[in-house]
Structure 1
Amino acid sequence: MFTGLVEEMGTMRGMTRQGEAMVLHISASVIMNDLKIGDSVSVNGVCLTATSIETHSFAADVMPQTFRNSNLKDLQSGNKVNLERAMIANGRFGGHMVQGHVDGIGTIHQVTREQNAVVYEITPANTELFKFVIPKGSITLDGISLTVVSVNDHTFQVSVIPHTLVQTVLNQKRAGDTVNIECDVLGKYVNHLLNYGSRGQQDEGKPSGISQEYLAQHGFA
């Protein structure tokens, strides 16, 4: 589990690829302080496992499922990547609950400056994600915890403060570039529970006890 507060920008030293399987080699400094083999690291919002560690770098495997559903396959040597270690239980929870399980890829449609902020307009490749994208709700782009400021039928917008731009790779992205999208996990759980019975997955054929009417009757909707 992560918070979406990027700790540092690492640098791609290189990668090896065989089909849709990859091994990423990433240089870093801050996260290397206590990183151990087997630890989880968010790389541009994707939860990966450190499989080998050197003094100033680590390696992580990318499986075919991750290759197909994220933009890690587009990385090249020298590219910067957002890095965050898994959260610990004794610190402040400054972002939101981020799993590092990417839901899809989005394309930056437009970048505009609004006084001290920069607004990014994103077009998701999979329009099904819009059911989890709500104004003032949380969303993760390349591992960065952000707030949705507006949504329409085809795009959504996030507004980014100067500190976040300086500390993350979002500052290097332009219209046409891609970002990894992870929607708020709470919304995904609610959606699953509401639709569980309708997919024929209920144990022993019993209908789901949760519905829109149930939530309304009990003050949740």
Structure 2
Amino acid sequence: MTVWVMYCSVYLWILEVEKVLMFTGIIEEVGQISSIEPSGDGERIEVLANLVIEDTEIGSSISIDGCCLTVVDMSKDSFVVEAVPETISRTRLDAAKKGDQVNMERALSASGRFGGHIVQGHVDGLAKIVEIEIESDDSWKVSFTCSSKWLGQIVEKGSITLNGVSLTVASTRTSLEEDELCFEIALIPHTIEVTTFKNLKVGDLVNLEVDVIARYVESLLFSRGNLFSRE
């Protein structure tokens, strides 16, 4: 009961502190990178879009494959963002190229309607697809591996964000020999169709953001002397 009360308290607190800028993990549109150019130590990226630029202006934030990036320029059918070296090295942007499709979502006030879960747009790292199993109903079971440092934050039936998409973890297991965490998600046909997941294959890397509530709860429990493993 104590953990549940703590979870609810953290949830309400996050809604308050994150109300200026957040996402839900419900993809609004799939865009296409039309150009990538060097910009200082980072990159200037132009993305073709329609829906997400309808009420967007310079300075607005858009989630691109789960990365919260600021619009610095735009036209009637595209917008431009800039990515700093930290963002590039931590995400799939390190290997992005012209023609790549990306999941997109506009920022949402916490007072708006939720369809997924609280997504900050702060990518924690990368996960690798190790298996894709297509079911008889055309749904997919997809298995991933990632660093075991997220062991306490990626849990069965918990939320996770992959390439900006809000998903539920179906199962987890650890591989102590390889210091990896393995987890599985299920994708329904609709999610596959309206996101870039339809283009992914075994061996591909995806942007990963752990559940922010799980992150805060683990931190609080750890500070109270619970035995969570962390590096």
Unaligned runs of 5+ in 1: 197-209, 214-221
Give a deviation string over 1:80-131, Cα, whole Å, max 9, x none: 000000013454201000000011101100100123210110111x220122
- Measured in 2, the distance between the counterparts of 1:151 and 1:212 equals 21
Contact kept, 8 Å, 1:20 with 1:68, in 2: the verdict is no
> Which residue matches 1:193?
220
TM-score w.r.t. the length of structure 1 is 0.86
**Aligned with 1:129 (options 146, 150, 166):** 150
- The AA in structure 2 aligned to 1:192 is S
Match of 2:32 in 1: 11
- The alignment status of 1:25 with 2:46, answered yes or no, reads yes
Task: Please show how residues 68-79 of structure 1 align to structure 2 within 5 Å.
Answer: 68-79=89-100
Structure 2 counterpart of 1:110 = 131
2:214 is paired with a residue whose SS is helix
Larger deviation: 104-113 or 81-90? 81-90
Which amino acid in the other structure matches residue 16 of structure 1? E
Match of 2:102 among 77, 81, 85: 81
CA distance in 1, matches of 2:50, 2:39: 28
Aligned to 1:164: 191
State the 1:194 CA deviation. Answer: 3.0
Tell me which moved more, 143-152 or 109-118: 109-118
**In structure 1, how many angstroms separate the alpha carbons of the residues matched to 2:167 and 2:142?**
11
The corresponding residue for 1:173 is 200
**CA distance in structure 2 between the partners assigned to 1:193 and 1:40 by the alignment:** 29
| Larger gyration radius, structure 1 or structure 2 | 1
Q: Aligned AA for 1:40?
A: S
Give secondary structure in 1 for the equivalent of 2:141.
strand
Aligned partner letter, 1:35: T
Task: Confirm or deny that 1:141 pairs with 2:162.
Answer: yes
Q: Percent identity?
A: 38
CA contact (8 A) 2:39 2:82 kept: no
TM-score by length of 2: 0.82
Amino acid at match of 1:92: R
Residue number in structure 1 paired with 2:11: none
Q: How many residues are aligned here?
A: 199
